[in-house]
Amino acid sequence: MLTTANLNDREFDQFQSWLYRTAGINLSPAKKALVAGRLFKRLKHYQLDSYGEYFKLIMGHESAGELQLALDLLTTNETYFFREPKHFDFLRQQVLPQALPGKLFRVWSAASSSGEEPYSLAMVLAEGLSTTPWEIIGSDISTQVLTKARTGHYPMERARTLPQPLLVKYCLKGTGNQAGTFLIEKALRSRVTFIQVNLNDTLPPLGEFDVIFLRNVMIYFDQETKRKVVARLLPLLKPGGHFIISHSESLNGVSDALKMVAPSIYRKP
């Protein structure tokens, strides 16, 4: 009988190598149980007897959809509204007051997951930029989380980190069969565009940004991958623009093209 314990070391190595080649994500051996658990339902769906058979299936030319699904399952990460609030305070207090009136202000949430970060940013920009036009791009490698992000629809427990005045102003409370959920209002949703981007591949033409958020994704990259990803993103940051990473991450040995202005907050000269 197939169980998650049936993922052997050789099979884990196959998934590990593939994920590194595709997404730059470095899975430690400690993640073996996570890989087994997240893929187990797909093996049952196809009535397969081993993880090796599933790997062979997703590598087949006719299963691009399943390949993306496997990628989604292995790259989906935890996120929440106003995570690491000091970054939003910095944006509100230091960056937005310097925005040029009438000139489009652009922010890229480069690992946007299910949308909580870009919508948090949208609320901050809506509050802080009165007549200045703005837009946000949210990107992720997972099509699954991007589909969820575009809806702007979340269970009410996701609102626990969302300041009450912003929840009231920018979100609609679900009623009837939508009770226990909330929806980001349409006017705010329309200012956020979600696209699939693999940070380990050639970037699509995205234009230039005043601020790039690259948070809680570099922890999955080795040093060489971090260097390549940051080097790929920096040409898209305007001179004087801000580059923001997670408090648990560092650009030490990754890039010297940016000047640190506060812990985890950098500026392009």
DSSP state of 134: E
- Per-residue pLDDT at 78 exceeds 90: no
- Write down the mean pLDDT value for the chain: 93
DSSP state of 93: I
Give, to the nearest 10 degrees, the angle between helix 51-58 and helix 32-45: 70
- Per-residue pLDDT at 82 exceeds 90: yes
Task: State the Rg of the chain over Cα.
Answer: 20
How far is 71 from 19, CA to CA, in rounded Å?
Answer: 8
Residue 154 has a pLDDT of 97
First to last CA, the chain: 60
Q: Is position 38 annotated as part of the catalytic site?
A: yes
Residue tagged active-site, from 140, 189, 210, 215? 140
Distance set, CA 98 to CA 7, 126, 128, 241, 267 (Å): 53, 15, 11, 11, 14
Residue 75 has a pLDDT of 84
pLDDT band with cut points at 50, 70 and 90 for residue 3: low
* Strand, coil or helix: 250: coil
* pLDDT tens digits, one per residue of 99-156: 998 899 999 999 999 999 999 999 999 999 988 999 999 999 999 999 999 999 999 9
pTM, two decimal places = 0.89
Burial class of residue 47 (count of CB atoms within 10 Å of its CB; 0-12, 13-18, 19+): exposed
* pLDDT tens digits, one per residue of 172-199: 999 999 999 999 999 999 999 999 999 9
pLDDT band with cut points at 50, 70 and 90 for residue 2: low
Q: Contact at 8 Å (CB) between 11 and 55?
A: yes
Residue 234 has a pLDDT of 98
**Residue from 15, 47, 44, 43 nearest 31 by CA:** 15
Residue 1 has a pLDDT of 58
- Ordered by where they begin, the domains of the chain are 4-75 (1.10.155.10), 85-152+187-267 (3.40.50.150)
